[in-house]
Amino acid sequence: MNVIRQGDVMLIPVKSIPKDAIEQPPKGNKIVLAYGEVTGHHHRFEFMDTSHNVKLYAAGSGARYVHVIARADLLHEEHDTASVPAGKYLIPSQVEYTPAKLRRVAD
């Protein structure tokens, strides 16, 4: 499997999700991976029903993971749709360097 990238969001394939990771509830019919800072747009998986074939997890270390049970589309208003194959992925935190400090740009 290859790394999947959509703007500030990256999905890195992993063999497993840590045992201490806790499933995060969907927000309505969406699993949101990152919110836009200015536009309000967001990187998300969206569901037309209650099947929710994507699950988001947060580990004790703060790392986030996604389990895609069946191929799903990662959507964003300003980026091409990314078709994500079934699998488990780490969502690394994107940071921006400034002389004062590192600043997270996607959560």
Identify any residues that bridge with 23 across adjacent strands, giving them in sequence order: 57
- What pLDDT shows up at residue 28? 83
Mean pLDDT of 72-101: 82
Give the domain ranges of the chain: 4-104
pTM of the model: 0.81
Higher pLDDT, 10 or 39: 10
**46-68 tens-digit pLDDT:** 887 666 789 999 998 889 999 99
Handedness of CA 4, 88, 84, 93 (dihedral sign): negative
Q: Which two tokens stand for residue 19?
A: 């045992």
> Hey, what are 30's tokens?
């969406």
- C-alpha dist (Å) from residue 1 to 20, 25, 91: 24, 26, 15
Cα angle: 65, vertex 70, 74; to 5 degrees: 60
- What is the residue-averaged pLDDT of the chain? 83
The DSSP 8-state label assigned to residue 26 in this structure reads P
Average pLDDT, integer, range 15-29:
92
Q: How is residue 41 written in tokens?
A: 């747009």
Say whether pLDDT at 79 is over 60.
yes
